Structure 1
């Protein structure tokens, strides 16, 4: 069997059974210090404006400290297998998603290296052989951590650059085709209006087909509008934004089968934000239409809202089949769809609108069946 990348990296740095044993022994004396190390780690980050901004400020630090303690637990206890490698790869990819510069990653790892070496010096003060072995093992595992993160960082960054290039080409094509389609669609609409006023419109069969033509023209116009919205920067309106009112307005535009229940909790308690009500309405409409189509004729769609120190969080869940692993990583890419009649613009447009408001959206699988989308919007006005 071919050697995996992780096995190659371990062989390259000479990480073996003795190092594993040294790290497990270090874990026994260091685990009580994990909370204190996490405090030092994030205090250092919060002192640096650039790093603080990349990690979303102080509001996320409480959660991140818990995550760091779990990271240190696995760092020293293992097992250092392929599952360990895959978990560390996800961390590298997260750094790409939040646009964390690589030099912050090196600086952060140096903070941990200093704290662990200080702890090794204190606990193995009179045990020079164990001290040396612990320092060597620690150096190897932290070097492996950096190698894994840099490898996945590079892979994802290159993939992201390729996507951006495709989007730029896509934008140029859409802009040209979209504007060209407006003219024939306008002519069809005008002709349809004239035909509806003629005597033939009294024929039931003709009226039915004229109605179908009108529906399809409206659908084509909406597709063109969505395509153009993906490539142009419509100025954001900075108005008082009540998400409960926007949600209620969006519900009126979504056809819901009798067997589908749509509920919302916590929206009325949200503070008044600043943003563009029209574009936020489009966010809700797109997400609701996807959720309703996913659950079919019977099911539930649930929106839960909560408020944090500097942001509000909306969680939209449905009881549909969810999103497969193969689709999940590309779910917000334009033209990516699993629908028979969709063209894959709804979620990319949602992501674009939220990011222009200074917010974000992510997909978080539910236990069992269903999809879960997590939306975050800043409580303070966005300048974008």
Structure 2
């Protein structure tokens, strides 16, 4: 099912301003915004235990090509560590900002990311989801996510936009290195409050990671291990975030959507049950997450039927699809957006 065409632009005062307040009241009364400390205690403990066990297996196996299996397992563990950092950044885990930030800083440090940089970037995304100019997640020079971006590409970027439906998943193999570089660039430019601590965490991570890999593996195997691990981590991260908004309506500066519609119409949910919940770290409930960013991850599933029914009663399009269909929709959208580049090159 294709995403519904967004409604015509209306002045925000033409819509009932109480709609989201009504939904929020219903969700709050159901207890869905209450912290789930016990759940996160188990989730954090289990995730860190798996991470530690994976490194223990790495040390035990020694200098062997079987370590490429370890690299794949480590990529999965890093992604789930990153999911916890994401939840901490949204203040889902604990009540206080400082406590959540402490959890986020530790988990970001374990995978070599700047927590402060990511929180700032992600907050801008939540404020303007899928907006061509204001959503930083759409600001990727070599890809085009809107028709306007597709028309404006030049040189190498035009070539990548032309073939982006075929290049999208291979390019995700570079996402891990891109995240590392963006973190280092932001910290050394001083774009966050805890610059000194963030520097220490990034340097400490790089030294410990490289020392461990090169201490156990010969140089050739070490380089291949790093490439496989970082590539699969980036691929998994990209596959978790890609279905959320790509291919959904992109609001313009002339459209005054209220908060409810801005978050719902630009987001896509992914169906699939508990295994998809685990695989995507709860990001498959993207509509509920965007409406209530601080809602704990395990409550999103319970909120989903409430939000869907609320939207249906008010004629607000609520889009969800299966996992494979969501990727197909993303690729179909990328192929369509790249059409101007293909036509102009003939």
The alignment's TM-score, normalised by the length of structure 2, stands at: 0.32
Larger radius of gyration: 1
Higher relative contact order (CA 8 A, sep 6+): 2
TM, length-normalised to structure 1:
0.29
